[in-house]
Amino acid sequence: MARLRGPVREHTTDASTPRLEARSLCKTFTKRGNTLEALHDVSFSVAPGEFVALLGASGCGKTTLLRTVDGLEPITSGQLLINGEEEHTPGPDRGVVFQQDSLFPWRSVLKNVRMGLEFQRKPRKVASEQARRYIELVGLGGFEDHYPHELSGGMRQRANLARAFCIQPELLLMDEPFAALDAQTREIMQTELLRIWAETAGGTVLFVTHQIDEATFLSDRIVVLTARPGRIKEIVDVPFPRPRDLSIKRTPEFVAIVDRVWTMIEEEVRTAMGMTTSHDSVDDLEHTALPGNR
Amino acid sequence: MPGDTTQSVWNEKKGSTAPSRKTGRRSWSLVSLYRKRSVWVHTILTIILGMVLWQVAAAHTSELVMVPLGAIWKAFLAAVKSGQLGNDFLASFQGFLIGLVLASAAGIVIGVVMATSKIVFDFVDPWVSAMYSTPLIALAPLFIVVFGIGLTAKVAVVITLAIFPVIINTAAGIRTTDRNLIECANSFGADRLQVFSKVLIPAAVPFIVTGLRLAVGRGLIGIVVAEFFGARAGLGHMVFNASQNFDTAGVWLGVFILAIIGMTLIKLMYRFERWIAPWRDFEVQ
Ligand SMILES: Nc1ncnc2c1ncn2[C@@H]1O[C@H](COP(=O)(O)OP(=O)(O)OP(=O)(O)O)[C@@H](O)[C@H]1O
Ligand SMILES: [Mg+2]
């Protein structure tokens, strides 16, 4: 299949500049005098073209981190560099797939997908044409004129993907895009995502999830966060060659990485749930918490 | 079979008992015909029932209060023949329509301004809420005093009654827009104007139409009452005149016509709501 795009925006920065770099990033929420530290001293970088997963227990600040990168949430201290420059507002160089359903209910699939181009005041015809290509790409061809409430959950997520891809962002931010899907659909969407990503000559992806096997399957590196306040616990390399298909999930190497990350995160989940590490509760937890991750 | 599932969903909604599989298949055509047309069947039945009850009641009450339907029908034919009914209808309709259009336009603008400026909202909202819940119709005689007998007074009364639901619903629609959608638009690079025209206004449209529907109902009351107090023509004028002349059939004729107009308009507004916001899953009223 023909590549849908080459590099979009020319940057004067050289290839060694990370697409995204966080330096000692801190984020504190203040509400009626109460402060809540969501992120503490987070530093990591993402190279151009890299697929990085952000993994952590619920409430550890994954969404918050993604929102600061998108420019929806100001940072409290530290630095956040996009292509080596500080960015404080959302821009067309970043596309987001939100955790919650965020398709516009009064817009058809086509109009939802071309929304970003519309906001950039691209001619309607050009925008529609481009949107159609991405709708086709995510497998929603024929549903252009359907409204979101006429689609299944999986189809809505495809539309969300198409909308984010359609602005051809350099940096794609995805916040648990498949969390609401059933297990089978989720696995299919994971392979679909990799396919779309490859066919669009891949932007850089920051993918939030709390599913260890999802992170391992999709990414080049996994950034593991601690329980709140989120700090970097460890960054794990995932060396599988691409293209990948679901069968790698059964290889011993894959299982080894999942196991390693699991032990890392187990303690954090426990902390997040307000448990202490005691030997008695280990078995309980393994059978109740995060089923399906092992 | 897809037909099966839709049928059973439909069944549950209407609360009727689902026929067992066997009998359901057998008597399919008759049952399904009734189901498809049941609204019409029920509507016609209830109208017939109402007419029967009316005749019984009319036979047992004073001629000054109720008259048989035949007398009302005669009055109708006479009024149509003389051209009086057409005149009155047009006179009312003119005042109603002008008032409603002005109230809608002004109401939407005021609602939008209220919703987009917190200061304006804080200053205006108490008054709007107070006036919405006050029976402002009581002011109708004063309007006649100010504007004199004629179209202006009627329009003023209609506007006074119709504008508040439009203002309140428009403002509510914009203020309750899903924050996630606004944020999503921001994230995709929308500027303030685009957020306004492509998120806030579309999100408010169903609310605005609901406000308009309420405005139609109140405007109708407004026009009739305004015509009670002083008018040279109009349906309200007709009812008032008839009651002054102890013409009970004339009174009921006016009331029936107003009821039919009101029902038709409200039905049309529901249609309009569904047409303009097809993404909304409207329950049957
Ligand atoms: N706007 C806000 N105001 C105050 N506190 C907030 C706000 N947004 C998030 N928080 C807090 O910051 C912490 C991190 O929230 P965040 O949504 O980033 O978690 P998460 O890692 O995405 O969790 P999940 O996996 O459940 O989505 C939470 O404790 C949350 O209560
Ligand atoms: Mg989250």
Burial class, A190, CB count within 10 angstroms (exposed 0-12 / middle 13-18 / buried 19+): buried
B38 with B103, same domain: the answer is no
CATH number of residue A62's parent domain: 3.40.50.300
Does B282 map to a domain? no
The answer on A256 and A193 residing in a single domain is: yes
pLDDT averaged over chain B? 86
What is the rounded distance in angstroms from the CA atom of residue A5 to the CA atom of residue B26?
60
Q: What is the pLDDT of residues B17-64, one digit of tens each?
A: 444 444 555 566 777 877 788 888 888 999 999 999 999 999 998 888
User: Does residue B209 register a pLDDT over 70?
Assistant: yes
B123 shares a domain with B35 = no
- Evaluate whether residue A76 is within a structural domain: yes
A-interface mutation test, from B177, B184, B199, B208, most A Cβ less than 10 A away: B184
Q: Which residues line ligand 1 (CB under 6 A)?
A: A 29, 31, 36, 38, 56, 58-64, 99, 210, 228
In chain B, the largest separation of any two C-alpha atoms, in whole Å, equals: 72
Predicted pLDDT at B276: 85
HSE of A229, CA atoms in CB hemisphere, 13 A = 13
How many domains is chain A built from?
2
Tell whether A152 and A277 lie within a shared domain: no
Domain count, chain B: 2
Confidence label for B194 from pLDDT (cuts 50, 70 and 90): very high
Q: Give the DSSP H or E segment for A46.
A: strand A34-46
Residue nearest to atom 26 of ligand 1 (CA): A58
Q: Does A13 fall in a domain?
A: no
Same domain, A69 and A135: no
Measured CB to CB, residues of chain A less than 8 Å from chain B are 70-72, 90-92, 94-96, 98, 100, 102, 104-106, 115-116, 118-120, 147-149, 163, 167
The range of the structural domain enclosing residue A206 comes to: 20-93+174-293
Q: Determine, yes or no, domain membership for B223.
A: yes
Determine the pLDDT at residue B25. Answer: 54
What are the pLDDT digits (tens) for B120-155? 999 999 999 999 988 888 888 888 888 888 899 999
Q: What is the pTM of this model?
A: 0.78
Q: Are residues A73 and A210 in the same domain?
A: yes
Q: Is residue A61 located within the same domain as residue A104?
A: no
Task: Give a yes or no: residue B131 inside a domain.
Answer: yes
B285 in a structural domain: no
Q: Which helix (H) or strand (E) holds B167?
A: helix B151-175
* Chosen domain end from B38, B58, B78: B58
Bridge-based pairing state of the strands A85-86 and A232-237:
unpaired
SS3 label, residue B120:
helix
Any CB–CB contact under 8 A between B203 and chain A?
yes
Question: Does residue B14 sit in the same domain as residue B98?
Answer: no
What distance in Å separates the CA atoms of residue A138 and residue A144, rounded to the nearest whole number?
12
Whether chain A has a CB inside 8 Å of the CB on B191: the answer is yes
With a pLDDT cut of 90, the percent of chain B lying above it is: 62
Q: Which residue, of A124, A150, A168, is where some domain finishes?
A: A168
The whole-angstrom separation of Cα A188 and Cα A180 is 14
pLDDT, average across residues B224-248 = 89
On whether both A80 and A104 belong to a single domain, the answer is: no
Q: Are residues B112 and B25 in the same domain?
A: no
**B129 and B32 housed in the same domain:** no
Q: Tell me, what's the pLDDT at A275?
A: 66
What is the distance between the alpha carbons of residues A180 and A61, in angstroms, rounded to a whole number?
A: 19
Q: Considering the domain boundaries, does residue B191 fall inside one?
A: yes
The answer on B269 and B187 residing in a single domain is yes
B255 band by pLDDT with thresholds 50, 70 and 90 = very high
Residues B170 and B45 in one domain: no
- Assess if residue B100 is contained within a domain: yes
Instruction: Judge whether B237 lies within some domain.
Output: yes
Do B266 and B153 have their domain in common? yes
> pLDDT averaged over consecutive 10-residue blocks of chain A (294 residues)?
44 68 91 88 91 90 92 91 86 87 92 94 93 90 91 90 90 90 87 88 87 93 89 90 89 93 84 60 41 41
Residue in the block written with tokens 């009364």: B157
Q: How confident is the model at residue B14 (pLDDT cuts 50, 70, 90)?
A: very low
CA atoms within 13 A on the CB side of A27: 26
Which among B186, B202, B280 has CB closest to A90?
B186
How far apart are alpha carbons A267 and A230 in whole angstroms? 14
Q: Is the peptide bond before A243 cis (omega within 30 degrees of 0)?
A: yes
Q: What CATH number should be reported for the domain holding residue B95?
A: 1.10.3720.10
B281 belongs to a structural domain:
no
Q: Which of A168, A188, A215 is the last residue of a domain?
A: A168
- The pLDDT score that the predictor gives to residue A83 is 87
Verify that A158 and A178 share a domain, yes or no: no
Same domain, yes or no, for B13 and B116? no
Do A126 and A214 fall into the same domain? Answer: no
The least confident of A124-133, B11-20, B179-188 is B11-20
Q: Are residues B50 and B73 in the same domain?
A: no
Are residues A196 and A162 part of one domain?
Answer: no
Instruction: Classify the phi-psi angles of A105: left when phi > 0, otherwise alpha if psi is within -120 to 50, otherwise beta.
Output: alpha
Give residue B39's pLDDT. 85
Task: Assess whether B160 and B218 both reside in one domain.
Answer: yes
Tell me, yes or no, whether A281 lies in a domain.
Answer: yes
Nearest to A211 by CA among A145, A293, A286, A137: A293
Q: Domain span at residue B258? A: 68-276
* Per-residue confidence (pLDDT) for residue A145, from 0 to 100: 92
Q: What pLDDT score was predicted for residue B282?
A: 46
Q: Is the CB of A116 less than 8 angstroms away from the CB of B281?
A: no
* Å between B117 CA and nearest CA of chain A: 22
CA distances from B282 to A100, B8, B46, B56, B285 (A): 23, 19, 25, 38, 7
Q: Are B88 and B235 in contact (CB under 8 A)?
A: yes
Q: How far is A187 from chain B (nearest CA, A)?
A: 26
Per DSSP, A60 falls in state: S
Task: Give yes or no: residues B123 and B231 share one domain.
Answer: yes
Query: Among A168, A199, A222, where does a domain finish?
Result: A168
Looking at the structure, tell me whether residues A247 and A180 fall in a common domain: yes
Per-residue pLDDT, A10: 43
For a mutational test of ligand 1's pocket, the pick from A25, A31, A36, A67, i.e. the residue with the most ligand atoms closer than 8 A to its C-beta, is A36
Residue A245 lies in a domain: yes
- Cα B272 from Cα A164, distance rounded (Å): 33
* Whether residues A35 and A142 fall in one domain: no
Per-residue pLDDT at B174:
95
Same structural domain for residues A182 and A87?
yes
**Triad A151, A153, A159: Cα angle to 5°:** 65
- Tokens in use for A192? 């679909």
